[in-house]
A and B are shown apart, each in its own frame.
Chain A
Amino acid sequence: MSSAEGTVAEETEAEVERDEAREALLAQFTAELGDAVIGSHIRPGDALWVRVDAAAWRTAAEYAKGGLHCEFFDFLSAIDWLPSPFGRDMDSQEDLVVHGKEPKEAPPMQSGYAGGDTRFQVLARVASTSRGHDVILKADVPDDDLSIDTWMPVYAGANWHEREAWEMFGISFAGHPHLAHLYLPGDFEGHPMRKDYPLLARRVKPWPGIVDVEPMPGGGDDEGGDGE
């Protein structure tokens, strides 16, 4: 276990405001991919996000595997940044009717760490088991053409992840040999993980937790005090 203790000590040092290891990793990405690295974000001692141009999505994977020894493929998925048209929090339109509240205004579309310009982003995490570093890669998927290169030639394990992202978000992966339904029945229409795809159970029935909620003894406010 002595090696693990060494790692822990390193991590604590790294947490002091800057994370040199991850900054070095980011610098390597920038040096290799140049302008294709559009955005980045580092949370010291925790993770590195790198956003690359959609055209460089495959190249980024090749460099991560070949140049940075990230031979471990963790996961690949997508995010739909559209604010849900069905309201925020747990208030569906039906709940609002029950409680007579005004619907909250939908916030403007805003992407997360490392920024983003489009509605859909793909993200993937790869790691190096030998060097102990990891990176979360993101890429914007163009709004007018929901398509991006497949990672399958680089990481064979991307196969199922891309099929899942394809059926759940409707993002197609150019070059994928078998983009077929994985979870959903073959004749399923629509892409369930999109924010504008309604969750039918929530459309037909108000949220039971909201209807039945009893006020906590002693506190009338809703924002909550301390946990004790």
Chain B
Amino acid sequence: MTAISDREKLAYMAAQAADARLNVELETEGMTLNLGPQHPATHGTLRIVAKLDGEQVVSCEPLCGYMHRGYEKLTEVRSYPQVTTLVNRIDWLGSFANEVPFILAAEKLMGIEAPPRAQWIRTILFELSRIANISLFLGDLGLQLGAQTMGFYAFRDREYVLNQIESATGGRFHPNFDRIGGLKDDLPKGWIDETRRAVGKLRDFCDETDDLMMGNEIFQARTRGIGVIPADVGLAYGLTGANIRGSGVDWDLRRDNCPPGLVYDKIDWKVWTHPDGDSFARTWVRLQEVREAISIVEKLLDSIPSGPIMAKVPRIIKVPEGEAYVATENPLGEMGYYIVSKGDLVPFRVKIRSASFNNVSIVPWVARGAYVPDLITILASLYFILGDIDR
């Protein structure tokens, strides 16, 4: 295996060669390839129109909107507590994580802070969503590249975490559990020990993934040096989450801009980065993130304080006039809500900044000159959820 700097050099040369081939080779009659809207690599209904020259992508254009539900408009006729039901459905694999930044933004405008126990449970559920979400990604990436086993393992082991989310919140996929000023309910009896056992099983899953997939020669050949995104390009496109950390940018909102209401600053943990910027790097960072999330959950379970789970809030929630932007590090990347309030029951305007929207907008850039099978790898490794693009 070559050293990192060499690999970067190789990727650069490969990109140059791709450019040269596209421009210099005799003009052949191009072919247009339609991926989707129902292709399994698109996690929903994204359509990608790729213009090909032989096996190479000359240009490609993602067409979204098949799933646009107009949440930004709908929030303008929903009261603040009702909005969480909607935003649950943005990234449906990590639903609880969608509610948190919205609630935190409303709390910021109202000047309310949830009691410590609620903050702890919130953070634990947030990380459990991350584990459930990213473990499915690891399995799905395996499926895309022909490693069927990974898919089965991921669906099997994710269930342990979903069971814990369900037993705490009542919802397997859409908890709708976070409230302005705290949480809906306290934890059920015995939940803490069960969760510890459940995340222990996920740790085994991570080791299995490491052995089966990351160490696999075919997997490495399919992902190393494929879809290289340099840090400055990634930042200009607004890439976040593991996609930008896979390009070597040490940036994690949990550590660098943690909004009040989550307790990441109370424990010790580590942000993982990888310098390569290719599909392998992004996958590797995500795998480490699941491991880190497991240890975060374990540490938080050890230190969970007692006390109330709800602050004193008015029964009818009116948010004072003002504007606030709160973003958190969701499983897919930065998810934020820019709320404009006019002091009414309903928000005046909510801008939903979802991670996948930015993450996918780089596809035309990164897919240029790639081979068709690599396009699948690139899409899968960028990891998007359609609900998170289309909102």
Select one of B265, B269, B346 contacting A5, CB under 8 A.
B265
B238 contacts A73, CB within 8 Å?
yes
Select one of A90, A107, A182, A224 contacting B64, CB under 8 A.
A182
List residues of A (94-128) whose CB comes within 8 Å of B's CBs.
107, 112-113, 123, 125
CB-CB under 8 A for A71 and B73, given A123-B338, A182-B64 = no
- A74: chain B residues within 8 A (beta carbon): 238, 327, 334, 336, 353
The distance in angstroms between the C-alpha atoms of A45 and B325, with both chains bound, is 13
The distance in angstroms between the C-alpha atoms of A53 and B7, with both chains bound, is 46
CB-CB under 8 A for A199 and B77, given A72-B238, A73-B235 = yes
Task: Tell me whether A31 is interfacial, beta carbon within 8 Å.
Answer: no
Select one of A75, A159, A207 contacting B353, CB under 8 A.
A75
Render B259-280 as a binary contact track against A, CB cut-off 8 A, 1 for contact. 0000001001110000000000
Most buried by B among A7, A74, A155, A202: A74
- A73: chain B residues within 8 A (beta carbon): 235-238, 358
A90 contacts B345, CB within 8 Å?
yes
Among residues of A, the one whose C-beta sits closest to the C-beta of B66 is A183
Render A150-174 as a binary contact track against B, CB cut-off 8 A, 1 for contact. 0000011101100000001000000
Name which of B91-99, B210-218, B283-291, B306-314 contacts chain A: B306-314
The distance in angstroms between the C-alpha atoms of A157 and B73, with both chains bound, is 23
CB-CB under 8 A for A157 and B351, given A46-B108, A184-B68, A227-B310 = no
List residues of A (61-87) whose CB comes within 8 Å of B's CBs.
71-75, 77, 79-80, 84
Select one of A1, A136, A207, A222 contacting B269, CB under 8 A.
A1
Chain A: residues with Cβ within 8 Å of the partner, total of 56
- A4: chain B residues within 8 A (beta carbon): 255-256, 265
B77 contacts A202, CB within 8 Å?
yes
A156 contacts B323, CB within 8 Å?
no
The distance in angstroms between the C-alpha atoms of A192 and B237, with both chains bound, is 26
Q: How far is the CB of B388 from chain A (nearest CB, A)?
A: 13
CB-CB under 8 A for A112 and B268, given A4-B255, A90-B345, A184-B65 = no
B325 contacts A136, CB within 8 Å?
yes
B237 contacts A182, CB within 8 Å?
no
Task: Tell me whether A88 is interfacial, beta carbon within 8 Å.
Answer: yes
Chain B: residues with Cβ within 8 Å of the partner, total of 59
Task: Tell me whether A212 is interfacial, beta carbon within 8 Å.
Answer: no
The distance in angstroms between the C-alpha atoms of A104 and B232, with both chains bound, is 50
Task: Tell me whether A89 is interfacial, beta carbon within 8 Å.
Answer: yes
Most buried by B among A80, A182, A226: A182
B73 contacts A227, CB within 8 Å?
no
- A207: chain B residues within 8 A (beta carbon): 77
- A182: chain B residues within 8 A (beta carbon): 64-65
Task: Tell me whether B301 is interfacial, beta carbon within 8 Å.
Answer: no
CB-CB under 8 A for A89 and B340, given A125-B325, A183-B65, A227-B181 = no
Among residues of B, the one whose C-beta sits closest to the C-beta of A72 is B235
- B334: chain A residues within 8 A (beta carbon): 74
- A209: chain B residues within 8 A (beta carbon): 82
Task: Tell me whether A216 is interfacial, beta carbon within 8 Å.
Answer: yes
Task: Tell me whether A223 is interfacial, beta carbon within 8 Å.
Answer: yes
CB-CB under 8 A for A160 and B357, given A7-B256, A71-B236 = yes
Task: Tell me whether A132 is interfacial, beta carbon within 8 Å.
Answer: yes
A71 contacts B314, CB within 8 Å?
no
CB-CB under 8 A for A129 and B235, given A74-B334, A193-B72 = yes
Task: Tell me whether B390 is interfacial, beta carbon within 8 Å.
Answer: yes
Among residues of B, the one whose C-beta sits closest to the C-beta of A154 is B236
Task: Tell me whether B51 is interfacial, beta carbon within 8 Å.
Answer: no
Among residues of A, the one whose C-beta sits closest to the C-beta of B62 is A160
Among residues of B, the one whose C-beta sits closest to the C-beta of A47 is B325
Task: Tell me whether A189 is interfacial, beta carbon within 8 Å.
Answer: no
A residues neighboring B (CB under 8 Å) = 1, 4-5, 7-8, 46-47, 49, 71-75, 77, 79-80, 84, 88-90, 92, 107, 112-113, 123, 125, 129, 132, 134, 136, 155-157, 159-160, 168, 181-185, 192-193, 199, 202, 207, 209, 216, 219, 222-228
Query: Which 8 A-B residue pairings sit nearest by Cβ, starting from the closest?
Result: A224-B315, A157-B237, A183-B65, A224-B316, A157-B238, A183-B68, A129-B251, A75-B353
A-B pairs with beta carbons under 8 Å apart, 24 shown: A1-B255, A1-B269, A5-B265, A46-B108, A75-B353, A77-B338, A79-B349, A79-B351, A89-B345, A90-B79, A90-B345, A112-B323, A113-B322, A125-B338, A129-B250, A132-B256, A132-B257, A156-B233, A159-B361, A182-B64, A182-B65, A183-B65, A184-B65, A224-B315
Q: Other than the known A72-B251, A112-B340, A160-B357, what 5 A-B pairs have Cβ atoms closer than 8 Å?
A: A73-B236, A112-B323, A132-B257, A183-B68, A199-B76
